[in-house]
A and B are shown apart, each in its own frame.
Chain A
Amino acid sequence: MAEAKEDQIKFYSNKICPFGMRAWLTLEVKKIPYEFIHCDLKDKQDFFKEAYAKALGHAEDNAGKVPIILHKGKYIAESSIVARYLDYVFSDEDKYGPSILPKDAFQRAAVEIMVAWFGDSGWLKFHYGILMNANPDDQAKSVVDWKKKWKTLNDRLGEFCDKGTYLPNNQVSLFEICAFPFFERLCTLEHYCKLEIYSKWMDEFPRVKSWYETVKDNEAFKKCTSTQEFLNNGYKGYREKAEENYKKWKEEQAKQEKK
C-alpha cells in the first residue's frame, strides 16, 4: 500500500550517539514503525551526507550528523526537533500511546522548562568537558560546578512527585528522552575519569537516582540501550586525545619552569 510505505520512517543514526538515541527512544516509546539505517560517523557514507544536506535543520558547516529521519519524502535533522515531529505526527493515542508532551497545560510547560533548563544548564559541556580533559585539577573544579547542576536537577525533579519519572505515574516525557542518553553515557566518565557517579553521586542525589533507575527500566528505553563496553569503546578516541593534550601541556609547563 503506497500510503503505508510513505508513512514508514527511515531513521539514519548510529548507536554511539546520544542525540541519535533521543530520536530512537521516541520511535520506540511511541512504537512507530521504522527502519534503522546505520551511519558511519568517522567515514561518512555518501547516502548519509546526501540525506543530511537535504535535511531541514542541517548545519551549514557540517557534512553529516545523526539523527536524520525521512518521512513522506522529507528529511529532518536535529534530535529534539525529530522527537517533537514524531510525537506530533504519530498522535493517535490508541495506536501510539500518550504524547511525550502532556495535555495538561501546566505539566506541559513544566516539561518544556526542564528540556530548556537541561540545554541551558551547560550539562553537556560539563559531561564532554570532563571526558575530554585529562588534567586532574581541571576535573576537580568541573566536578564541583557540575554537582551544583546535579543538585538543581535533584530539586527540580521533585516538582510533581518524589520518585520515578518527572511527571507523575511514570509517564515518559520529552525531558526523559532528551536527558537520559547522557545518563547512559556516564559510564564513560566512570571508566575514564574514575568518578563514582552511579554509586556515590546517585546516592548524594536520590531524586535523580530514582529518576535514572525508573527510566532505565522502561521497556522502550531498554530496547535502545548499549552495553557499557560498547559505549566506553566508542568514546576511547575522545579520552586518548584528552590524554595527549594533557601530556603536551605538562611538557610545556616543564619547559616554562626551566626558564
Chain B
Amino acid sequence: MAEAEQKEQKLKLYANPICPFAQRAWLALEIKKVPYEYIKCDLREKPAFFTEAYQKALGAAEGSDGKVPVIETPDGKFITESTIVARYVDYVYSDESKYGPSLLPKDAFERAAVEIMIDWFGDSGWLRFHYGTLMQCDKEKADASVVDWKKKWGLLNERLKQFSDKGLYLGDNKVSLFDIVAYPFFERLITIQHYAKYEILDKWMEEFPRVKSWYNTMQELEAVKKIKQKDEFFINGYKSYRERGEAAYKKEQEQKAAAAKDDK
C-alpha cells in the first residue's frame, strides 16, 4: 500500500478518558485533526487485546501489564509513552496544509523554549504534588506540601511570560507540545479541589494570573472542548485515590496511637 494511502488509514488510539497521560495523545490527534479510532480500554480489568498491544509496544515498561496511551500505526507498529506518542503523531503528520502547524515551532529558539518547559514541568515534581495533595489526608502535611507546590505555580507563572503575557505559552492560540503535556493535569485539578478542599480554580488562579490566562485559553480550544470530561466524571474516577489516601492516614494514626501507648 502506498505510504500516502497508509497514512489516510486510521491510526488506533488505545486510551481511557480518565487518564491524563492518554489525554496528551488524544489532544495531539485532535489538534492535528489526524484520523484515528479511539479504543477505550478498561484500566481495572484490562482486556487481552489491550495487554497484547502493550506488550508489543515500543517503550513498554518491563513488568507492566498495560498502560495507556498506546497507538497502533497504520503500518502495524505499536508505540506507548504519552509524550513520545504526541511527538510521533506530530512528526508523521507534518503536512501543514492538512494537519496544521507542528506542535514544535519552526523557530529554533522558540522550539528550545518549548522543550525547556516540557522538561521543567516533568522535573519540577508537579505530578508528585498533584497526586500527593489529592491523596494526603493529614491536613498539616497537605498544607506543608501545598506551600511547596505553590512555589512551582509561581515559577510556572513567571516562565509562561517568556513570549507573551497572556494566552498559550507561545502566545495567543499557538498550541505547542508543552501545552498538551501539561494541560490534562489542570483539567483534573477539580479532584484536588473537591477532595482536599483547596480553592485552586478560584483563589490560586487569581494568585497566578499568567497561569490563569494559559488555562482559560486552553479551555477555549476546539480540540480541548471536544474531548473534555465533566467534573463529576473526574471526581468519581479519582475517588479510589482519595480512599487509598484515607486508608494510609488511618493506618498512620493507628501506629501513632500504638506507639504512644508503648511509651507510657
Contacts from A to B (Cβ < 8 Å): 56-57, 60, 74, 76, 78, 80-81, 84-85, 88-89, 105-106, 108-110, 112-113, 116-117, 152, 155, 159
A108: chain B residues at CB < 8 Å are 87-88, 91
Residues of A within 8 A of B116 (CB): 56-57, 78, 81
B-chain residues with CB within 8 Å of residue A81 when the two chains form the complex: 112, 115-116, 119
Please measure, in the bound complex, the distance between the C-alpha atom of A81 and the C-alpha atom of B117, giving whole angstroms. Answer: 10
Contacts of B84 in A (CB 8 A): 109, 112-113, 116
Q: List 18 extra interface pairs beyond A81-B119, A109-B88, CB under 8 A.
A: A56-B109, A56-B116, A57-B116, A57-B119, A57-B120, A78-B116, A84-B112, A85-B112, A105-B88, A106-B58, A106-B77, A108-B87, A109-B58, A109-B59, A109-B87, A110-B58, A117-B59, A159-B58
Q: Which residues of A contact B92 (CB under 8 A)?
A: 105
Minimum-distance CB pairs A-B, first 9: A57-B116, A113-B59, A85-B112, A109-B88, A112-B84, A81-B115, A89-B108, A105-B92, A81-B112
Interfacial residues, chain B to chain A (CB-CB below 8 A): 58-59, 62, 73, 77, 79, 81, 83-84, 87-88, 91-92, 108-109, 111-113, 115-116, 119-120, 155, 158, 162
Interface SS, B side: helix
Min CB–CB distance B137 → chain A (angstroms)? 28
Cross-chain contact A116 with B109 (CB below 8 angstroms): no
| Cα A117 to Cα B112 with chains together (Å) | 20
Q: Which residue of A has the minimal Cβ distance to B158? A: A60
Taking CB atoms, residues of chain A closer than 8 Å to B162 are 56
* CB-based contact B62/A155 at 8 Å: yes
Which partner residue on chain B sits nearest A112 by CB separation? B84
Q: Which of A105, A109, A155 has the most CB of B within 10 A?
A: A109
Known: A81-B115, A113-B81. A105 touches B108 (CB 8 A): no
Residues of B within 8 A of A152 (CB): 62
B residues in contact with A105, CB < 8 Å: 88, 91-92
Interface centre among B73, B79, B112 (most CB of A within 10 A): B112
**Residues from chain A with Cβ under 8 Å of B109 in the complex:** 56, 74, 76, 85
CB distance from A7 to the nearest CB of B (A): 12
